Each structure stands twice: as C-alpha cells, then as structure tokens.
Amino acid sequence: MSTPHETIGGYLTEAEPVLVLWHHLAGIVGGGETDAATLVHLTLPAATIYLVGVFEGQVVQGGFRQFLRGPSGDHALDTLQALREVGAHVSVELLEKAFGIFPGGIVPKAREDRVREFDRADQTDPTYFETFDELFNNRVDSQSVHRIENIDSLLLDYMKQHADVRLTY
C-alpha cells in the first residue's frame, strides 16, 4: 500500500486511486468500522468516499440486509446522502426502497432497533431484500455485463472534483 497523502488529489496518481484512498480512510476510521466518533474526523468529501465504499462493499458481500442490519446501517441516512453526492442514482433508488422495511421508511440509528424491525419483517416477508440485491447485482456490481452504474468511476470523478480537500480536519 502507498504512503498516505494529505489531500484527496494526492491519491489520483495511484494505480487504483479509489481503492488506495478507501483503505487509508478505513485506517483513519478504525479498520473499516463506521463508528460515528471516528467519522467526525473526516472532511465531508472524505466521509462521502468512505461511506460509499462501505455501502458498496457491504451490499456486494451480503446484500442490503447486511448493509442495513450491521454497524454500517448506523449511517444509512448519511450513506444515502453520500450516494446522492457522488451521483449514484441507481444505488440511491434501491437504498430508498430498501428503507421501506422500516416503519415510515425511517431507519433507526440504534442497531438493536433495526434488528428488531428485521426480525418483525422476516416473519412477514423473509425475501424482502432479494429484489433489491438482484437489481444491484445486475445494474451496479462491477461483475455484471448489464451494469449501468459504475461506483468506482463515480468516486474517481468525485475525487477529481475534491482533489484539493484534506482527508481530515
């Protein structure tokens, strides 16, 4: 891995700028956790890149259920805003629809409250997230031949727009 850079633009010279930057941000945040106490040290553009990366990784690994049910779900609304900020319209639409599992579409910040809603929803419709996962896998996942949204390209463009911004305050 390369040496950390002070600004987002410093990573643009890396062979895989988005990946290298995300790993450095994960190190700042604490090894990939989404603890709010450590996210506050990131500038808004750095937090945006970090949250979009967490979202993509969680959904690719285990779907929307994994993203929302785990610690990453603590920042579901911030992640939705981050996806909007980078222009990930397909992901925004899917995440907004996935929020429908919660009463009024409002995602509880506390994990135990989210888990309780998942347990309730599983009794009613245990396949609720399958459609969203399938659409993500077809339209967003880098392995899909039908991909219409490339999160890495969107993040790279976002990095270029915020090249002079520091990673932390």
pLDDT digits (tens, 9 = 90+) for 74-106: 999 999 999 999 999 999 999 999 999 999 999
Query: Given its phi and psi angles, is residue 16 left (phi above 0), alpha (psi -120 to 50 degrees) or beta?
Result: beta
**Would you kindly state where each structural domain of the chain is located, as residue ranges?**
8-161
The predicted model scores a pTM of 0.94
Nearest to 50 by CA among 70, 33, 68: 33
Query: Given its phi and psi angles, is residue 146 left (phi above 0), alpha (psi -120 to 50 degrees) or beta?
Result: alpha
Nearest to 166 by CA among 46, 32, 51, 14: 46
CA distance 94 to 136: 8
CA distance 41 to 113: 26
Task: Copy the structure tokens of residue 34.
Answer: 């989404």
pLDDT band at 37 (very low <50, low <70, confident <90, very high): low
